[in-house]
Amino acid sequence: MTSIERSYFEQCALASGLLNEKQLDEARAGVRWSQGDVTDANAPPTDNQLADRLVESGVLNAWQAKQLLDGRTKFNLGSYWIVDSIGKGGMGQVFKAQQNKVGPIMAVKVLPRDKCTPEAIANFNREIRALASLNHPSLVRALDAGKDGKVHYLVTEYIPGVDLRKLVRHAGPLGMTAAANIIHQVAEGLGHAHSTGIIHRDVKPGNVIVTPDGVAKLSDLGLAGPFESSAENDPRYGRIVGTADYLSPDQVKSPWNPTPTWDIYALGCTLYYIVTGKVPFPGGTTADKARAHCELRPLDPRLLNPRLTPEFLDMMADMMAKDPEHRIPSAAAVIERLKPWMPGGPLADAPSGALGEYAQPKRPLTPPIAMHAMAGRRAVAPAQADQAPLADTKVDFPELPQINESHDSSSKGVVTILDLLDEQESSEEMQIPVSVDWMPIITPMLFLILVIPLALVITVLLIWWIFQLII
């Protein structure tokens, strides 16, 4: 068969180097054999039929077939052959790859062409340098970097697992031991980075990869920067960067003064997420979330996960202290505080830290409510005969009203607030003025103080006007 007789899909497949003539002909024959009701047995299969057959036979995977159907023919970056897509984030796309089509699978991060500005390229190169300077089992290792035409790429080890955000969304909140085991490993990686003078600045569940056997690794140093930064050595100096749901108050208020405690606070917010399934301050804009981190208290995690103990909450609250002077000061100190909940520890809630086996129910019984809606008031949950009162902790968390279980979307298929209040997914540079005036939120009492006198004045004037008309 000549190339002229080949369909566009087949021409792309041959040009890509993923397939040869024999494989295409075998796939064609397979399609004709499987389509027993076709009137003309010699009629060529459609491109979609051929692609489906190639995927079914294992010659291509679904991602490769989709790229060929879209007319893409280049699947290599230098000596690395792209074999599948892993995901896309705010700092680039990540793919699975093999060197020269053989050997172990690696992860290749690519800077998108539409983001190849001089500043983006400089940031990408800084990530490469930061990774190259780090070598720790709890950090994703850099293996290589290069440029193919106008495409810049970074090669790292491939971790066969899932990020913490997807894990929690799929399996539900984790128990204390499983959560402590993961955070302990991440803290070890952060401690190594801090010891080399690097702050991650974007610690969050989406940047923690967990393998099926519970090994956790911190990834994505795209926003990492040095302690002693300045406008000369850090283009993001004085800017608020990261993900709004995990920003420390001191990072928002003093972005020109980076410290390791930024990462400790974000790690505390990450711990909050994986034991509750929700971020500390759901809902609102980026500015609302930044202000909430500076001024408001997170919801009591026990209302989302009743199995959490007061001691565990105290430890988590110390990681999330708004004043860095009151926060756990270092990754090493976090590791020490987590020891009682590690597998075999005196406060462990399970005999091991295996994931999944000790996960909490997929849906909590009470929904989170945006913190600005809770400011200035305390809604008391209705008492239940079989529910013991929450034990006191040194952190006063606002309470939540409970909802009827019949509205749980997991059983009724109804979209509830639980489905709507989720974290922001992408890292970004926050569009928040550094000199923002953190105005207090109007509470119900302040609202009454302002509105009632005004209403009385208007009422008196209205009565006087009506009286004048009558006269």
3-state helix vs strand vs coil in the chain, percent to 5: 40, 15, 45
Are 150 and 120 contacting, i.e. CB atoms less than 8 angstroms apart?
A: no
* Res 443 pLDDT > 80: no
Catalytic entry in 202, 250, 263, 318: 202
Q: Which two tokens stand for residue 347?
A: 């406060």
Q: How far apart, in whole angstroms, are the C-alpha atoms of residue 332 and residue 321?
A: 17
Say what the alpha-carbon torsion angle 187, 236, 226, 268 is, to the nearest 10 degrees: -20
Tokens of 83: 């074999």
In whole angstroms, how far apart are CA 155 and each of 94, 283, 333? Answer: 9, 36, 32
More confident residue, 381 or 3: 3
Q: Which 8-state DSSP code applies to residue 363? A: S
Strand partners, 216: 210
Single out the residue of 210, 193, 213, 192 nearest to residue 201, CA to CA: 193
In the predicted structure, residue 226 carries a pLDDT above the cut 50: yes
Q: What is the pLDDT of residue 68?
A: 93
Give the pLDDT confidence score for residue 459 in this predicted structure.
Answer: 85
Q: Give 40-64 pLDDT, tens digit per residue.
A: 556 678 899 999 999 999 999 999 9
Task: Supply 287's token pair.
Answer: 């500015």
d(CA 264, CA 318): 10
pLDDT at 377: 29
Q: Which among 427, 460, 437, 452 has a CA at the least distance from the CA of 224?
A: 427
- Model pLDDT, residue 117: 72
- At position 382, the amino acid (one-letter code) is P
What's the length of the chain?
A: 471
Is the distance from CB of 200 to CB of 263 less than 8 angstroms? yes
Q: Nearest to residue 222, comparing CAs of 152, 292, 169?
A: 152
Written as six digits, the tokens of 137 are: 């089992």
Q: Which of 160-174, 175-189, 335-349, 352-366 has the lowest mean pLDDT?
A: 352-366
Place of tokens 């295996």: 354
Q: What is the pLDDT of residue 245?
A: 92
Pair 137, 117: CB distance under 8 Å = no
Percent of the chain with pLDDT over 70: 69
The Cα 273–Cα 179 span in angstroms is: 10
Beta carbons of 378 and 367 less than 8 angstroms apart: no
Give the Cα separation of 304 and 301 in Å (integer).
Answer: 5
Q: Delineate the domains of the chain, giving CATH numbers in brackets.
A: 3-69 (no CATH), 76-157 (3.30.200.20), 162-378+399-429 (1.10.510.10)
Mean pLDDT, residues 364-369 taken together: 36
Percent share of the chain, pLDDT over 90? 38
**pLDDT band for position 466 (50/70/90)?**
confident
pTM over 0.75: no
Nearest to 250 by CA among 260, 396, 334: 260
Phi–psi pair at 346, nearest 5 degrees: -65, -25
- The two tokens of residue 443 are 């509470």
Higher pLDDT, 449 or 413: 449
Q: Which of 3-17, 115-129, 136-150, 394-408 has the lowest mean pLDDT?
A: 394-408
Beta bridge partners of 199: 225
In the residue annotation, 392 being an active-site residue is answered as no
- Looking at residues 212-237, what average pLDDT do you find? 66
DSSP per-residue codes, 218-282: E---TT-EESS--TTT-TTTT--EE-GGG--HHHHH-TTS--THHHHHHHHHHHHHHHHSS-SS-
What pLDDT was estimated at residue 383? 31
What phi and psi values does residue 121 have, to the nearest 5 degrees?
-65, -40
Q: Which of 210, 216, 213, 168 is nearest to 190 (CA)?
A: 216
Confidence of residue 269 (pLDDT cuts 50, 70, 90): very high
- Split at pLDDT 50, 70, 90, the class of 316 is very high
What digits encode the pLDDT tens for the residues 138-168? 998 888 888 888 888 888 899 998 999 999 9
Give dist(CA 164, CA 168) in Å, integer: 6
